[in-house]
Amino acid sequence: MTATILPTPADLSITPRDRRFGREAAAPRLWHGGRVEATAIYNALSTTFPAGEAFFVESVRAFRDGAPPKLAEEIKAFTTQEAIHSREHDAFNKRAARSGYDLSSLEAQVEKRLAVSRSRPPVVSLAATMALEHFTAILAHQLLANRRHLAGADSETADLWRWHAVEEIEHKGVAYDTWLHATRHWTRWKRWKVKAKVMLYVTRNFVVDRTSGSLELMRQDGITGIQAWTRLLWYLWIRPGMFRKIAGAWLKFFLPGFHPWNEDDRHLLGRYEATASGAQSQRKVRRAA
């Protein structure tokens, strides 16, 4: 296999915005419009970020030696963005814990999954990161494209999620391009087979773990059994239906010729920059370390 053409836009800028959220006033425990299931799924997702994004960074940086200069720069900016995301979600998770949630079983599950990944060869960790970064990017796209997902949420907490989504879109090609670089001597078939297998594996774990994590947090709010399942599945799959809405974008990952930037969704970043929070982010931009 010869060198691959990387379709990441030449004029893409990956810009770490060093923002802090929720340090002044505490959001209510049920910060997502008082809704137990909505708060639970976002809290469950946030629980994965501090350790998960540290794992993404370590998996990508293991392959930075010999990367083309543009990709090496993007890896640096990606590292800075993910480090700040980890910090902000760690702070968010501590606030959730202070408001009475016990996140320990969710965090233990994340650590268990990461331990399995770390026991595999580094290129498999990179593949898992590349697959999960596609997942994060399509969730981010949907979150920014459809206001319904954060409707009714505490405004500063909604800002945290939008800020994170913007940066996930900006750096969505970094793990993928690192993967293309790391596997440049593989055949197309071998590359496709590994990435498809890894995507199916991480998707299964993602859906199972986030569902059980959300149910656990709903249990802590007194909602259990069939009522909990119905409310959660309705929220995830029907209305606003995040999982249903990202299904098409998820499937595209398996197409030959897939690349995260086959869909240039930077118009969503422009829309964010035009908001008050986006304007504040612009002032907090700092160059990648």
Tell whether residue 19 is a contact of Fe ion (CB under 5 A).
no
Q: Which is nearer to Fe ion, 53 or 74 (CB)?
A: 53
CB of 56 to Fe ion, least distance (A): 6
Stretch that binds Fe ion, among 5-13, 57-65, 163-171, 188-196 (CB under 5 A): 163-171
Tell whether residue 113 is a contact of Fe ion (CB under 5 A).
no
Candidates 85, 191, 195, 210: give the one binding Fe ion (CB under 5 A): 85
| Beta carbons of 118 and 189 less than 8 angstroms apart | no
| Beta carbons of 76 and 288 less than 8 angstroms apart | yes
Q: Measuring CA to CA, how many Å separate 77 from each of 47, 82, 84, 87, 272? A: 23, 9, 11, 16, 20
CB of 208 to Fe ion, least distance (A): 21
Sign of the Cα torsion 57, 82, 89, 220 reads: negative
Q: Which is nearer to Fe ion, 39 or 81 (CB)?
A: 81
Report helix, strand or coil for 85.
helix
CB of 205 to Fe ion, least distance (A): 17
Q: How many residues in the shown chain lie near Fe ion by CB under 5 A?
A: 4
Q: Which is nearer to Fe ion, 82 or 154 (CB)?
A: 82
Where helices occur in 66-187 by DSSP H, the ranges are 69-98, 104-118, 122-145, 155-170, 174-182
CB of 14 to Fe ion, least distance (A): 10
Stretch that binds Fe ion, among 48-56, 90-98, 253-261, 265-273 (CB under 5 A): 48-56
Distance CA 54, CA 61 (A): 11
CB of 57 to Fe ion, least distance (A): 9
Distance CA 128, CA 176 (A): 10
Tell whether residue 32 is a contact of Fe ion (CB under 5 A).
no
Distance CA 157, CA 161 (A): 7
Name the closest residue to Fe ion (Cβ).
Answer: 85
- Binding residues for Fe ion, per CB under 5 A? 53, 82, 85, 168
